[in-house]
Amino acid sequence: MRLSAATVAALLVVLIAGCGGDDAAEPSGSGGGEPAAKLTVTVRPDGPDGPARRRTIECARLGPNAPESACRRLAGLTADQLAPVPAGTACTQIYGGPAVAQVRGELRGKPVDARFELTDGCEIERWDRNRVLLHDAPRG
């Protein structure tokens, strides 16, 4: 049985939506005076050798009560959501463009070192899921 790309995409959306967690269990700060988020985000829209757009996000707390808009947008984001696509995952063979990105630092007390590409449907979905950090993927 062959599945169309649209069917596969719809199934991925349903699966990901069912993987939600309990946001109340995730603290919005790490306590002890440490920031809830300290991340360096580097996006290279033209590929690994292209010019970099870099920004640093540092938040004492995350969520609707955070004073900075970037920190409010990170309310539901966890380090686990930045994890790579598991090896062996079946992905649609759709190229999303040359853009690459890296997110390094700490989020809610967990270390982060995540790399992003647009090499297939899984990676495009992962980029889109983390758009709050990466913004829209430049498609080329």
CA–CA separation, 25 and 55 (whole Å): 28
* Beta-strand pair 53-59/37-44: antiparallel
User: Comparing C-alpha atoms, which of 41, 75, 35 is closest to residue 58?
Assistant: 35
> What share of the chain has pLDDT > 90, as a percent?
65
Query: CB burial class (10 A; 0-12, 13-18, 19+) of residue 92?
Result: middle
| pTM for this predicted structure | 0.73
Give domain limits for the chain: 5-134
pLDDT tens, position by position, 31-78:
456 789 999 999 999 999 999 999 999 999 999 999 998 899 999 899
Domain at 5-134: CATH code? 3.30.350
Residues 111-139 have pLDDT tens digits of: 999 999 999 999 999 999 999 899 865 65
Residue 8 has pLDDT above 50, yes or no: no
Q: Give the single-character DSSP code of 38.
A: E
